[in-house]
Amino acid sequence: MTDVDRTILIVEDDELLRDAFKLLLEDAGYQVIEAGTAEAAIRLATERLPALVVLDLGLPDRPGLDVVRTLRKDPDMADLPVIALTGRVGPAEERECIAAGCDRYLPKPVAPADLLRELPALIRR
């Protein structure tokens, strides 16, 4: 895999949590780009075309599911893997995430091992 293939966009409005995810992923050998808002996430995804997005659904400017729906409309990102992270836990929330275009749904708090386990199967090659 090339470095570009291992770039992950982390979208999380909580800076401390975003930093923790960044350290975890960089220690696992991934390159990380970061966004704290939906608008920044859409802009970075469009500019950088990451291999995968880890997306918090509770963003300050727009819901995270809006980000997924926007990305899915772009032919270059129609199959971009997205892992949704949310504090809203339950089967209905998971169905809503999958219906919006997320590939995986992980409830917060996310165990680092659970997140790392999802990446190899999803990351865009």
Average of per-residue pLDDT across 55-63: 95
Q: Model pTM?
A: 0.93
One-letter amino acid at 100 equals A
- CB 99: neighbour CB atoms within 10 A? 10
3 state SS of 42: helix
Query: Contact at 8 Å (CB) between 25 and 8?
Result: yes
Domain definitions of the chain by residue range: 4-122
- Distance, first Cα to last Cα, the chain: 7
Question: Could you give phi then psi for residue 45, rounded to 5 degrees?
Answer: -60, -40
pLDDT band at 124 (very low <50, low <70, confident <90, very high): low
Please write the tens of the pLDDT for every residue from 98-123.
999 999 999 989 999 999 999 999 98
Fold classification of 4-122 (topology level): Rossmann fold (3.40.50)
Tell how strand 7-11 and strand 52-56 pair up: parallel
Predicted local distance difference test score (pLDDT) of residue 89: 81
